Amino acid sequence: MDAIVKQVSEYVEKIFQDYPNPNLYYHNINHTRSVVKHVREISQHYRLSSADKMILMAAAWFHDVGHLITGMYEHEKKSVAVMKLFLSCSNVEEETIDKIAGCIMSTKLPSCPGNLLEEILCDADTYHLGTDEYLISDESVRKEFDPNGNINDAEWNKQTLQFLLQHKYYTSFCQERLIDGKNINIQLVHARIKGLN
């Protein structure tokens, strides 16, 4: 299992290196590494089997490679296609590949995880919303989402606030650790909106 994860990590790192997209201010290799790190952290808490850990780690590595191929709104399908192509050549069972695909697709907004593995990936993907990294990541997301500056500050803050209010953490692990931080970030965005009025 560890050998597969090592192959996957090296492959995904190489994809981002060989096909750089300077417009991916947020959905770049650093975000992918961060999601992998948080998947590892949450997985350890739930004492998952090595097979389930492999599914999650592979999904974390592959979940955003589609951004290198297509637009923001269809990237999950492309990520799954790249993953399937790679893992089917690595003698990974079809059932395992389907579970990895399910994890990746569950991160499509609005996220809709159907089991613990999918919940863990969704939470790892949005972990930053409950940390002080959020304010930095919000600027990166804005640069990527609105490269021409068509959305003014008031509208962006309104959209950001709506996203934060609609977002939820699914695992008890992340609920306990990140809800307070997310609420602070919500208050900060509220304050930005008030400051603009």
Can you give the pTM of this predicted structure? 0.95
Cβ-based neighbours of 39, under 8 Å, separated by 6 or more: 56, 57, 59, 60, 120, 121, 124
What does the pLDDT look like over 9-24, one tens digit per residue?
Answer: 999 999 999 998 999 9
Structure tokens at 149: 């500056």
Cβ 123 vs Cβ 171: under 8 Å? yes
Tell me the per-residue pLDDT of 156-174, one tens digit each, with 9 for 90 and over. Answer: 999 999 999 999 999 999 9
Q: Structural domains in the chain? A: 1-111 (1.10.472), 126-197 (no CATH)
For residue range 58-92, list pLDDT tens digits in order. Answer: 999 999 999 998 777 789 999 999 999 999 888 89
In one-letter notation, the amino acid at residue 178 is L
pLDDT of residue 197: 56
